[in-house]
Amino acid sequence: MIRKTCFALLIVAVLFAAVSCKTAAIEDDGIKLEGEVHNYKYSIAADGLELTLDVEGNPTTGYQWVLLTDDGKLDESVTLRGSEYKQNKAPEMMVGVGGYFTFDVDFSKDGEFDLQFAYCRSWAPEDNPVYMTLSVKVEGNKITEVSVN
């Protein structure tokens, strides 16, 4: 019994370390934040009320990053301007090359917002998706803080 409890606590500690939170505060030229979540590299740039998230992925595996919403709707103060996928450079005719998913998001008023993203296969909900949450703080008509969990 004690072994099982110790093993469970070890697993929780490892998972917590792997999903640690990273926060960036605003600088003169906006916010720039880079890191990894579940071994997927990401970068965030925010300036004024606009935020861009680039996150590593490979749709040839069937997985893609999606912004999760309630019934297809975001908070009325948040607008997804667009999303796209760009493959990394690769030799001609090479298949299975990964790249980056890009999300452009605008905020229209002050507040604190959580944007949850999932890396998943839409036809296989029983698979364990990878989740990434961006917590965004908007004050005085500009993004002042972004953290990633």
pLDDT score of 27 = 59
* CATH number, position 57: 2.60.40.2020
Domain count, the chain: 1
The reply to whether 11 falls in a domain is no
The reply to whether 103 falls in a domain is yes
Phi, psi values for residue 97, rounded to 5°: -85, 135
Amino acid at 15: L
pLDDT score of 122 = 86
pTM score, whole prediction: 0.80
> ∠ CA 101-41-120 to the nearest 5 degrees?
55
The reply to whether 137 falls in a domain is yes
Cα–Cα nearest to 117, from 80, 143, 77, 62:
80
Q: Can you read off the two tokens belonging to residue 148?
A: 């990633």
- The pLDDT tens digits for 63-78 are 999 999 877 788 899 9
Task: Print burial letters for 125-144: b (CB count within 10 Å at least 16), e (below 16).
Answer: eeeebbebbbbbbbeeebbe
- The pLDDT tens digits for 7-40 are 333 333 333 334 446 666 555 678 999 999 999 9
The reply to whether 7 falls in a domain is no
pLDDT score of 125 = 76
Q: Can you read off the two tokens belonging to residue 50?
A: 């606009």
| Share of the chain residues as helix, strand and coil, in percent rounded to the nearest 5 | 15, 55, 30
pLDDT score of 73 = 83
- The pLDDT tens digits for 85-124 are 999 999 999 999 999 999 999 999 999 999 999 999 988 8
pLDDT score of 1 = 42
Confidence of residue 2 (pLDDT cuts 50, 70, 90): very low
Domain hosting residue 96, numbered range: 22-148
